[in-house]
Amino acid sequence: MLRPHGMFAYRDVYAVKASSLHDRSLQTYTSRSWIKFLRMFVPQYLHEGTHPYHSEADHIVCRQNSRIIPADQLDEHTAVVVTAPVGIFREAQRHYITLRDHVWRSGVLGFTPHLEGPLAGD
């Protein structure tokens, strides 16, 4: 629901070309925040996720220093190579962006951003 004269903004995430969201893809993560997020998100999503992007057959393989590591044990200071269905990457990106934006706007980082323009409050 929008306030009168409110603005609706939509953000989508990058998706690789694949015939199905269950096709497997490979991604490398080097950013500490991304690795930390994957460590928290992947186990919960695989256990509790009911989104159509996710099926019981989905299998995620995380490698750090050429060793397979369970997602909940990822070292946030070491790059990780992840092989998973495209849909899992899409969901991880969507949730990461939502969390990042919420944290940024909430003030929990010690500052509250000043957004400019007549509709900044929306």
Q: Is residue 121 part of a domain?
A: no
Q: What order do you get walking across the sheet with 80-85 strand by strand?
A: 24-29, 80-85, 61-64, 67-68
pLDDT digits over 42-71, tens only? 998 888 877 666 666 678 999 999 999 999
Domain that holds residue 81: 24-106
Nearest residue to 32 (alpha-carbon basis) of 5, 64, 60:
64
Q: Is residue 72 part of a domain?
A: yes
Q: Is residue 96 part of a domain?
A: yes
Q: Is residue 35 part of a domain?
A: yes
pLDDT digits over 62-104, tens only? 999 999 999 999 999 999 999 998 888 888 888 898 888 888 8
What CATH number did the domain enclosing 42 receive? Answer: 3.30.1340
Total domains in the chain come to: 1
- pTM, two decimal places: 0.71
Q: Is residue 52 part of a domain?
A: yes
Q: Is residue 19 part of a domain?
A: no
Over the chain, what is the mean pLDDT? Answer: 82
In this structure, are residues 63 and 72 in contact, taking their beta carbons and an 8 Å threshold? no
Q: Is residue 46 part of a domain?
A: yes
Q: Which pLDDT score, from 0 to 100, does residue 1 have?
A: 67
Name the E strands within the chain.
24-29, 61-64, 67-68, 80-85
